[in-house]
Amino acid sequence: MLSEIEALRETAGDEINKAGSLKDVQDLKVKYLGKKGLLTVKLRSMGAIPPEERRAFGSLINEAKSYLESAITSQENRFRSDELNQSLRIEKIDVTVPGRYIPAGQLHPSTKVLDELITIFTGLGFTVAEGPEVELDFYNFEALNMPKEHPARDMQDTFYVSDDVVLRTHTSSVQVRTMEKTPPPLRVIAPGKVYRCDADVSHIPMFHQLEGFMVDKNIRMSDLKGVLELFIHRVFGSNTSIRLRPSFFPFTEPSAEIDMSCVICGGKGCNVCSQTGWIEILGAGMINPRIYEMAGYAPDKYTGFAFGLGIERVAMLKYGIDDIRLFPENDRRFLAQF
Ligand code: DAH
């Protein structure tokens, strides 16, 4: 019996040492030390051994067991570390390889200017309103004191959808729409797309405007000037001056064109400002009482101002862009510059 154990220990030890894989080692563990393993079975047969031999048998078998266990553990460790080394070799990452370039977009200059203006005006308590781009002739023209056949309609080259429907030619269309829904006082900006049948270096058929209007008791032209001066200073720097020139718009009375000192030459005179030192930047005025009548406001109780500006025009002056047709092209080489 004792020699059987020794023989078993020897074969088992041999097999374990010659095992070719982790799986072989694990199978051998089951074969010899598992519940029904060859050595386990011997251990269980201890009862059948004559009492005087039990001690020797017991110690031999326990010694064989721990011998095999440690042989198994060391083989397992060997195969596990081989496996690890192999995967470290195969899955090696070269952290010095240059990264792959993933082109990222950036905000369009029109969007940047629009966002900047919205931040400035909401900071002054203006709220943002929107209106439809396919607009009734009524809101685009009639409600703004431009009845059908009014000569001022010729100032804007309109895309007509039908006799009564147009692509809005300006964001001023949002004025009466908003006033109809909101009683005074109000402070509103209305940014958005507008359409005109026109195309050259300074005109594209679809561009962006921002309309602003404020109605309350005792609003004066000086309020208009203060708000516009603040906005020009924020966008173009506080050295910029503005001036108001008399003009005409059917929806404001009095009306003005606002010029700012030329951002290119600082007012000395250059090509951009046609040697005048001034650049026209937006239209504005005191809201014509006819508009209040159209909107259902009491025309004798309230006064207010309105202004409208072209976003692309502001962007062109701010970033020094000399051709408005670059805006809708979306060429990344152009967009990446801002
Ligand atoms: N709607 C005018 C345009 O597109 C711009 C404008 C001028 C808006 C004067 C106004 C204003 O609100 O008061 O040419």
**pLDDT tens across 189-198, in order?**
999 999 999 9
What's the token pair of residue 298? 């009491």
Question: What is the per-residue pLDDT for 5?
Answer: 86
Q: How far is the CA of 295 from the centre of ligand 1 (A)?
A: 17
Nearest ligand 1 atom, CA 287: 13
Question: What is the per-residue pLDDT for 118?
Answer: 98
Question: pLDDT at residue 55 above 90?
Answer: no
Any ligand 1 atom below 6 A from CB of 307: yes
Question: pLDDT at residue 67 above 80?
Answer: yes
Nearest ligand 1 atom, CA 171: 1
Q: How far is the CA of 283 from the centre of ligand 1 (A)?
A: 5
C-alpha atoms less than 13 angstroms from C-alpha of 220 in its C-beta half-sphere: 3
Question: What is the per-residue pLDDT for 264?
Answer: 86
The CA distance from 227 to 117, in Å, is 12
Nearest ligand 1 atom, CA 170: 4
The CA distance from 192 to 209, in Å, is 6
End-to-end alpha carbon distance in the chain: 92
Question: What is the per-residue pLDDT for 337?
Answer: 93
What is the band of 155 on the pLDDT scale with cuts at 50, 70, 90? confident
Question: What is the per-residue pLDDT for 307?
Answer: 98
The CA distance from 308 to 188, in Å, is 12
Q: How far is the CA of 20 from the centre of ligand 1 (A)?
A: 87
Q: How far is the CA of 210 from the centre of ligand 1 (A)?
A: 9
Q: Using one digit for the tens of pLDDT, what is the confidence trace for 109-135?
A: 999 999 999 999 999 999 999 999 999
Mean pLDDT computed over every residue of the chain: 93
Q: Using one digit for the tens of pLDDT, what is the confidence trace for 255-309?
A: 999 999 999 888 899 988 999 999 999 999 999 999 999 999 998 999 999 999 9
Pick the more confident residue, 151 or 268.
Answer: 268
Q: How far is the CA of 284 from the centre of ligand 1 (A)?
A: 6
Mean of the pLDDT values across residues 13-38?
92
Any ligand 1 atom below 6 A from CB of 42: no
What's the token pair of residue 76? 């397992």
Q: Mutual orientation of helices 311-319 and 109-123 as an angle, nearest 10°?
A: 110
Any ligand 1 atom below 6 A from CB of 167: no
Question: What is the per-residue pLDDT for 24?
Answer: 93
Question: What is the per-residue pLDDT for 271?
Answer: 86
SS3 category, 128 = strand
Question: What is the per-residue pLDDT for 153?
Answer: 80
The CA distance from 234 to 238, in Å, is 7
Confidence (pTM): 0.73
Question: What's the DSSP call for residue 332?
Answer: H
Pick the more confident residue, 154 or 80.
Answer: 80
- Other beta carbons within 10 Å of 220: 12
Question: What is the per-residue pLDDT for 293?
Answer: 95
Antiparallel, parallel or unpaired: β 127-128 and 186-195: parallel
Q: How far is the CA of 308 from the centre of ligand 1 (A)?
A: 4
Question: What is the per-residue pLDDT for 251?
Answer: 97
Question: What is the per-residue pLDDT for 92?
Answer: 85
Residue of 140, 174, 251 best suited for mutating to test ligand 1, as the one with most atoms within 8 Å of CB: 251
Nearest ligand 1 atom, CA 213: 12
Q: How far is the CA of 43 from the centre of ligand 1 (A)?
A: 103
The CA distance from 211 to 308, in Å, is 4
Residue of 139, 187, 305, 307 best suited for mutating to test ligand 1, as the one with most atoms within 8 Å of CB: 307
Q: Which residues pair with 285 in a beta bridge?
A: 255, 306
Q: Compute the residue count for the chain.
A: 338
Question: What is the per-residue pLDDT for 25?
Answer: 92
Alpha helices in the chain, H assignment, sequence order: 2-18, 22-33, 38-44, 51-90, 109-123, 137-140, 173-181, 221-236, 289-295, 311-319, 332-335
Reference 338, options 120, 115, 113; nearest CA is: 113
Question: What is the per-residue pLDDT for 4?
Answer: 85
Mean of the pLDDT values across residues 44-73?
88
